[in-house]
A and B are shown apart, each in its own frame.
Chain A
Amino acid sequence: MANMLAGIFGSSPVVPLEKHIGIAYDCAKQLRGFFAAVVKGDWDKASKARAEIETLEHKADDLKKKIRQQLPKSLFMPVPREDLLELLLVQDKIANRTKDVSGIVMGRKLQIPVEISDQFLEFVDRNIDAAKQARKSVRELNELFTAGFRGAEVELAESMIEKLDQIETDTDDLQAELRGSLFAIEKTIDPIDAVFMYRVIELTGEIADMAERVGRRLELLLSH
């Protein structure tokens, strides 16, 4: 039988949102192994990592759809439903960008020029850091809901978002340097590869951009 008391609780979006960013981060994290293999020219290992990325991206996508269905308009929530859906959308883009960038590299068997490979791996790492910090910040949601988006928890979340911004700034700096280094050697590599290399750098950098946007969305929630 349906119970009155149980019925009034809509399914909480908080735990699923925290789970979703967890998957998105796990997905982005695979880039570390993926690019390490690419740099070494180990395409077997790279394709395994790529398969894992695809699986995780699908998983994030499925969860995204499920969360959307769980949030009907009739829900009464402390924060606007639209803001939560936007947050979900940018979280999902972390996984999307990961899939896109690994897809280009895999599809073209794109070699990372040796001259910039260390620098590139460092750049990838920092982008993954950004995704990790985004996950950490989103995991504050539960506490924020409990405390009613006021007080010490808000300050804690704000400091996390601040750190997320710093990491994103780092990736911007690294990206500029990396572009410079690539520019210096671009005449020595295949022109089409060079064009795609710029594209790969740009897409990878977008992972941190999306992570930063997760922070922006959280900030919007905090201001309610």
Chain B
Amino acid sequence: MEAQIVYISLAAMFGIFMAWGIGANDVANAMATSVGSKALTIKQAILVAAVFEFLGAVLAGGEVTSTIRKGIVDAELLTGSPELMIYGMLAALLAAGTWLLVASRNGWPVSTTHSIVGAIVGFAAVGIGVDAVQWGQVGTIVMSWVVSPLTAGIIAFLIYMSVQRLILRQDDPLVKAKRYVPMYIFLASFTITLVTILKGLKHVGLTLSLVDSYMLATIIAVIISLFGSVIVRRITPDPKQDKKEHFHTVERVFAVLMVVTACGMAFAHGSNDVANAIGPLAAVVSIAKSGTIAAKSALPIWVLALGGGGIVIGLATYGRHVIATVGKKITQLTPSRGFAAELAAATTIVIASGTGMPVSTTHTLVGAVLGVGMARGIEAIDLRVVARIMVSWVITIPAGAFLSILFFFIFRAVLPLVGA
């Protein structure tokens, strides 16, 4: 009994620490786009992020959490010694959290997702045995790290091309913007709602038929886009500003759209990244409670809520400053460009969440921004930094793995003494 409490509280502590880190650093990437383009103020961004990160974590975070929890390590091999899984997951959490702290202190671009996956693979392969890793699954995850930025890039490219064609290159961009922006709002809310309903609701105990799901998503998206079109219609041109900058009012129309995609982005981020913090926690909780490695045990909703809560706290304590700093640096992302990037990234990430793929939110968003750039939308992109980001995960995985192996051996030596 004693030992279980120690394990669960340690895991909860590390999990919250990790979630805090995600909220403090990672969320900024999801939200800064909207702040940088002035579609949202910082306060609004924090509110949107808090609500939608939490919703995303609780409603749609289940699939990725279960991948992190039981998709990487082959639990079958550990039925005889479930405590090894506990030590390993604790080690992985602490390793990923430490590595993220070190990396962000030094300004290295690293991904939370890559750190935790590297850490879990590390302790399993070295601490338990090479066979303990489900290499097929790990291969799929690594593939998804290549596929997700690419997909987001292609989607963003197509969306921004359509925006240029339908609106920005027309003689009357404002009229066209008011006509088409509600449609983009529909598209954004439909995709995200649909994936959530299809993949998320069963974790909350709701199951709908496929037809019902499509119906519900359509209804919700229509309501949101009607609401959006009312707001869009109310926007009146500011002739003085428009003379200085022809797209001034047009961008204000896009800013409405960007509020929607910002919600989507926060939701997507919550749904995918919460797993990095609570996947290992969920594993520890289920083993400590049951004493066995039960592959089928359900994910307690309080664990998801804890992760969501941790993210919100990280956001409120530290993340707001990061959002402000990053927002100031990405002013090139005007609402018309930013929404294209956000919509593409959010869609890709939510789909990844639905299929249980732990992808890097930031890398996906970077891919989306590059997609807008490919459509000749962005004034200047620094390719050196893009290259640095690409190589960063090659370094992150071994680093996470190494730390995790270290902590694993420490825990294996020390923790049994505590429990005894």
Bound Cα distance A13, B378 (Å): 11
Question: Interface digits, A76-87 against B, CB 8 Å rule (1 contact, 0 not)?
Answer: 111000000000
Bound Cα distance A152, B364 (Å): 32
Residues 1-45 (chain A) with a chain B CB within 8 angstroms: 1-14
Q: How far is the CB of A177 from chain B (nearest CB, A)?
A: 35
Which partner residue on chain A sits nearest B32 by CB separation? A5
A146 touches B336 (CB 8 A): yes
A77 touches B169 (CB 8 A): no
Residues 319-367 (chain B) with a chain A CB within 8 angstroms: 322, 325-326, 329-334, 336-337, 362-363, 365-366
Q: How far is the CB of A150 from chain B (nearest CB, A)?
A: 5
CB-contact partner of A152 in B173, B330, B388, under 8 A = B173
Q: Does B289 contact A (CB under 8 A)?
A: no
Q: How many residues of B contact A (CB 8 A)?
A: 52
**Chain A residues with CB below 8 A from B32, complex form:** 3, 5-6
Q: Does B381 contact A (CB under 8 A)?
A: yes
Which partner residue on chain A sits nearest B337 by CB separation? A146
Given contacts A1-B25, A1-B107, A147-B164, contact A74 B376 (CB under 8 A): no
Q: How far is the CB of B96 from chain A (nearest CB, A)?
A: 17
A-B contact count (CB 8 A): 133
Bound Cα distance A150, B375 (Å): 11
Bound Cα distance A76, B373 (Å): 8
Q: Does A149 contact B (CB under 8 A)?
A: yes
CB-contact partner of B171 in A2, A7, A143, A152, under 8 A = A152
Bound Cα distance A143, B164 (Å): 11
CB-contact partner of A3 in B169, B322, B375, B379, under 8 A = B322
Q: Does A148 contact B (CB under 8 A)?
A: yes
Question: Interface digits, A117-160 against B, CB 8 Å rule (1 contact, 0 not)?
Answer: 00000000000000000000000001101111111110010000
Question: Interface digits, A171-203 against B, CB 8 Å rule (1 contact, 0 not)?
Answer: 000000000000000000000000000000000
Given contacts A75-B381, A148-B168, A153-B169, contact A3 B28 (CB under 8 A): yes
Given contacts A75-B382, A143-B245, A148-B164, contact A4 B377 (CB under 8 A): no
A76 touches B245 (CB 8 A): no
Bound Cα distance A156, B388 (Å): 40
B379 touches A147 (CB 8 A): no
Question: Interface digits, B177-203 against A, CB 8 Å rule (1 contact, 0 not)?
Answer: 000000000000000000000000000
Q: How far is the CB of B20 from chain A (nearest CB, A)?
A: 15
**Chain A residues with CB below 8 A from B363, complex form:** 4
**Chain B residues with CB below 8 A from A147, complex form:** 164, 168-169
A4 touches B109 (CB 8 A): yes
B170 touches A76 (CB 8 A): no
**Chain A residues with CB below 8 A from B378, complex form:** 9, 78, 145
Q: How far is the CB of B327 from chain A (nearest CB, A)?
A: 9
Given contacts A3-B329, A146-B334, A153-B246, contact A8 B379 (CB under 8 A): no
Q: Does B385 contact A (CB under 8 A)?
A: yes
Which partner residue on chain B sits nearest A152 by CB separation? B171
7 A-B residue pairings within 8 Å (CB atoms): A1-B105, A1-B106, A3-B28, A5-B362, A6-B326, A75-B380, A143-B246
* A-B complex: 3 closest residue pairs judged by Cβ atoms: A151-B169, A2-B107, A10-B380
- Report which B residues bind A (CB closer than 8 A): 25, 28-29, 32-33, 104-109, 164, 168-171, 173, 245-247, 322, 325-326, 329-334, 336-337, 362-363, 365-366, 369-370, 373, 375-386, 388-389
- Report which A residues bind B (CB closer than 8 A): 1-14, 71-72, 74-78, 142-143, 145-153, 156
